[in-house]
Amino acid sequence: MQLNPHYAELNESYLFSTIAHKVADYQKAHPEADVIRLGIGDVTLPLAASVTEAMHKAVEEQGHKGTFHGYIPSEQGYEFLRDAIRRYYAGHGVELDMSEIFISDGAKSDLGNLLDLFSQDNTILVPDPVYPVYVDDNVMAGRKILYLPATAENGFLPMPDEAPHADIVYICSPNNPTGATYSVEQLKAWVAWAKANDAVILFDAAYECFVSEPGLARSIFEVEGAKEVAIEVCSFSKIAGFTGTRCGYTVVPQALAGGKLNKMWLRRQTTKFNGVAYVVQRGAEAVFTDEGMKEIQQNLDYYRANAAVIAAALDEAGVWYCGGKNSPYIWLRCPNEMGSWEFFDWLLEHAHVVGTPGEGFGPCGKGYFRLTAFGDAERTKEAAARIKAALATL
Ligand code: PLP
């Protein structure tokens, strides 16, 4: 028996466990400190009433012989949910075929599992900083990874004219952690690059629901010809608070690689996956009803208001930041040229607020810091006031 040697190449300390240890140590030393966590990207509002009602109904169905659902007829997902997603995309001008939509238990699983379809010899291009999972998935598989710096100079939106040749590129827009969001115009250049390089774009649209400014893309498929070069991964976690309920979806177009990737993904899913729970799929379907959408927009507005509160505090303190408009994340430059871990410790000490050091998302995150708007509104106000007061002492 031989172990996969590439696991030894993974970065030892996982960002969020390092943060958890630091906070636990601080709380032990200062039990009186009321620490507010604006660090991890989990949501705080509960599922919408339409979603829980649909799930209750589905649970009841599962308890009766006449309405019980066993193995899912298609591992690809129930038609009722795939059709709801198809209509959601049509609402922003993207026509999908039902065969192109695959339901999953979340974006994280699909982002890892999709790599089954590609040879180990492919070179991977990953923006820096970005959601760390893309890098770790490929380190585990032993693939060569190239990095594409996202900096203040390029607006945290690297363009293909700065890109080396690669076979697979990850694009996360709106971006975690920077909040930077590509326009449809900018994505046209990436689609052209992918065609010229015979490459595939893995487009992570987990935060598409936060896009609110005109001209910005919610889906890579808003770009003509993108179906020939892109796979899109999305999630119910951020739009509808499914972080603990688990549901997502992936679009693998028929036009991509002459339909081969769609066929291979179907084969992969039918072999290694038995689908998402009926009850969960019914809950996800309810997200797209008129009532569900209304409730969900209220939740998104709640988080947007949190982002505005944090942004106002930073404005008043004269700290540079971006994000928070089309994204739940605020990405700030650490004041006084502090390093991002140094600022983490400083903020914990002086404001009792926890955020995420930028360099946890890649070397280009050095000197930056992420705050999340997914917290409780009152606690976010309190955190913003404390951050402002602490910054005033610098
Ligand atoms: N993609 C990005 C960019 C994320 O930030 C996250 C979670 O924070 C995910 C995917 C994971 O989504 P899911 O909960 O659907 O697995």
Sign of CA dihedral 171, 173, 175, 178: positive
**The predicted structure's pLDDT at residue 297:** 97
**DSSP code, position 331:** E
| pLDDT band for position 17 (cuts 50, 70, 90) | confident
**The predicted structure's pLDDT at residue 342:** 97
| Mean pLDDT score, 271-295 | 97
Distance 306 CA to ligand 1 centre (A): 20
- The SS3 call for residue 17 is helix
| pLDDT band for position 16 (cuts 50, 70, 90) | confident
Is 368 annotated as a binding-site member? no
Counting from 1 in the atom list of ligand 1, the atom nearest the Cα of 175 is: 3
Does 23 score more than 80 pLDDT?
A: yes
**The predicted structure's pLDDT at residue 146:** 98
Q: What is the pLDDT of residues 44-102, one digit of tens each?
A: 999 999 999 999 999 999 999 999 999 998 889 999 999 999 999 999 999 999 999 99
Q: What is the pLDDT of residues 145-192, one digit of tens each?
A: 999 999 999 999 999 998 999 999 999 999 999 999 999 999 999 999
Does 12 score more than 80 pLDDT?
A: no
Minimum CA distance residue for ligand 1 atom 1: 206
Task: Provide the total of helices (H) and of strands (E) in the chain, helices listed first.
Answer: 12, 13
323 φ, ψ to 5°? 80, -170
- What is the signed CA dihedral for 363, 369, 373, 379, rounded to 10 degrees? 140
Q: What is the pLDDT of residues 128-139, one digit of tens each?
A: 999 999 999 999
Distance 108 CA to ligand 1 centre (A): 6
| pLDDT band for position 303 (cuts 50, 70, 90) | very high
**The predicted structure's pLDDT at residue 268:** 97
Does 14 score more than 80 pLDDT?
A: no
Distance 212 CA to ligand 1 centre (A): 19
| Mean pLDDT score, 101-126 | 97
Q: Check if the beta carbon of residue 124 is closer than 8 Å to that of residue 295.
A: no
Does 375 score more than 80 pLDDT?
A: yes
- Around ligand 1, the residues with Cβ closer than 6 Å are 41, 106-108, 131, 172, 176, 204, 206, 235, 237, 243, 248
Report domain 51-289's class. Answer: alpha beta
Q: Do 5-47+292-392 and 51-289 come out as alike in CATH topology?
A: no
What is the per-residue DSSP string for 126-182?
A: EEES--THHHHHHHHHT-EEEEEE--TTTTT---GGGPPP-SEEEEESS-TTT----
Reported pTM: 0.97
Does 355 score more than 90 pLDDT?
A: yes
Q: What angle do CA 107, 109, 110 make, to 5 degrees?
A: 65
Q: What is the pLDDT of residues 138-151, one digit of tens each?
A: 999 999 999 999 99
Distance 67 CA to ligand 1 centre (A): 33
Distance 325 CA to ligand 1 centre (A): 19
Q: Check if the beta carbon of residue 69 is closer than 8 Å to that of residue 278.
A: yes
Counting from 1 in the atom list of ligand 1, the atom nearest the Cα of 236 is: 15
Does 195 score more than 80 pLDDT?
A: yes
- Average pLDDT taken over every residue of the chain: 97
82 φ, ψ to 5°? -65, -35
Tell the CATH topology of 5-47+292-392.
Aspartate Aminotransferase, domain 1 (3.90.1150)
Tell the residue number behind the tokens 């997914």, with chain if given.
Answer: 374
Is 131 annotated as a binding-site member? yes
Distance 58 CA to ligand 1 centre (A): 26
| Mean pLDDT score, 8-26 | 89
Does 11 score more than 90 pLDDT?
A: no
Is 175 annotated as a binding-site member? no
| Mean pLDDT score, 242-270 | 98
Q: Which of 43, 126, 131 to mutate to test the pocket of ligand 1 (most atoms within 8 A of CB)?
A: 131
27 φ, ψ to 5°? -65, -35
Minimum CA distance residue for ligand 1 atom 8: 41
Distance 202 CA to ligand 1 centre (A): 14
**The predicted structure's pLDDT at residue 170:** 98
Is 107 annotated as a binding-site member? yes
**The predicted structure's pLDDT at residue 41:** 83
Minimum CA distance residue for ligand 1 atom 12: 107
Share of the chain above pLDDT 90, in %: 96
**The predicted structure's pLDDT at residue 73:** 87
Does 13 score more than 90 pLDDT?
A: no
Q: Which of 114, 202, 238 to mutate to test the pocket of ligand 1 (most atoms within 8 A of CB)?
A: 238
CA within 13 Å, CB half, 155? 9
| Mean pLDDT score, 94-118 | 98
Minimum CA distance residue for ligand 1 atom 7: 41
Q: Which of 40, 108, 232, 276 to mutate to test the pocket of ligand 1 (most atoms within 8 A of CB)?
A: 108
**Domains of the chain, residue spans:** 5-47+292-392, 51-289
Does 311 score more than 90 pLDDT?
A: yes
